[in-house]
Amino acid sequence: MATEPSRPKTADPRPQGVRASQHLDLLRGLAAVAVLMFHIRYRFFLDYSDLTSHSVVGLAWYAVTSFGHDAVMVFFVLSGFLIGSGVIDRCRRHQWDWKSYATARAVRLYLVLLPGLVLTCLLDVVGINLFGDVASYSGSPAGYAHDFFNVPARLTASVFLGNTVFLQTILVPPFGSNDALWSLANEFWYYCLFPLAWVAMFVPAPLWRRLAYGILAITLLVFVGQPIATYFLLWLIGAAIALLPLCPPIQRHRALMTTIAAGALGLALGLAHARGIKASLGMDLFAADFIVALACGGLLYVLLHDRKPLSRGLYALVAERLAGQSFTLYVVHLPILMFIRAWLVPGRPWEPTVGKILAALLIGLGVLAVSGVIARLTEFHTVAAKRWIDSRLSLPGGRSTSVQSGRA
């Protein structure tokens, strides 16, 4: 089918073969590392209010490891761009197919999630049997601030099954010690909501069908509840970027605009963590997250203007390696950390000394290495698995031209 003839050149939803794709890879990879380091500091070190002394080293450590929640907002924006733009592009080309889309999303999610759930179960069962009285598994009160919870209560068949169909935070808690799985429920339902809404509003079809899609989208919004529905707005920021035309002045002054956009994101992150300023402005958590997401969207839009050929060297290598295992790292890191925490630090968490910080960095490198091995067995095979399933189902995606089947 022919594409729309007079459509303006937009921010390419599939910036393959140009450096913009590497920038997006690096952004996603760094976000995954930020979540990892946040959980290492959060689980292994004392709360800042419990420290016996406040050194410059400690302050720096707590500052640079405080952006785990913000990194999830970055994930939402990137996901909105990659998935949303793919939906928009296929609809514009009159190539939209529900079965192919659902297969791509299911393969991408389950190829990593199911092994992650099994790993969580194994580590938690072993950890509870060996260190069941440690607060990180029992959730029992301790002489320091923490928000550990009763892991065995979440380690049930019903919670496991609920997480396989993305009902965590809706009908069940995240499975076992893997509290990071909360955001996967958001992602899954956004994958459902956006195409339903877009097809209902913008794809020519019989009125009854468009109404059915719209009613189903509204029903899902009500079902998932207010928190997930509200944060859909952040995800939509990414999807909206695909509708923006490329801007010639940004391309001419790309280095300057990238610096400005990165600075704006830095300011947004600073504002999100400045409790005094937030209180004086009456900002709640969602308002701070929305500002971070807008700033991330601005940086993403600027980065998409880099149309130079793919670079080689360390930058390209780091971006590719981190992005290639980012989803796996997100899914498996927390149960690994919880096991190590109960094993190595069964009592009072660490003070931020130089030695303990170095130990934390070594733990982070170890978790990165383990997730890389798991990713090679799972996430790295996403495109091949999608092609195999498409060939069995005789779907057009068997040629797997969609970025979202392998990288989103």
pLDDT higher than 70, residue 315: yes
Q: What's the rounded Cα separation, in Å, for the pair 20 and 37?
A: 26
Q: What angle do CA 28, 364, 290 make, to 5 degrees?
A: 35
Domain ranges across the chain: 19-405
pLDDT, mean over the chain: 91
pLDDT higher than 70, residue 403: no
pLDDT higher than 70, residue 5: no
- In 225-325, alpha helices (H): 226-241, 248-252, 254-272, 275-281, 285-303, 314-324
pTM, two decimals, is: 0.91
pLDDT higher than 70, residue 4: no
**pLDDT tens column, 326-348:** 999 999 999 999 999 999 999 99
Q: Look at residue 4 and give its three-state secondary structure.
A: coil
Paired with 45 in beta bridges are 350
Q: Look at residue 65 and give its three-state secondary structure.
A: coil
Residue 114's CB: how many other CB atoms inside 10 A?
Answer: 14
**pLDDT tens column, 42-58:** 999 999 989 988 899 99
Contact by Cβ (8 Å): 288, 372 = no
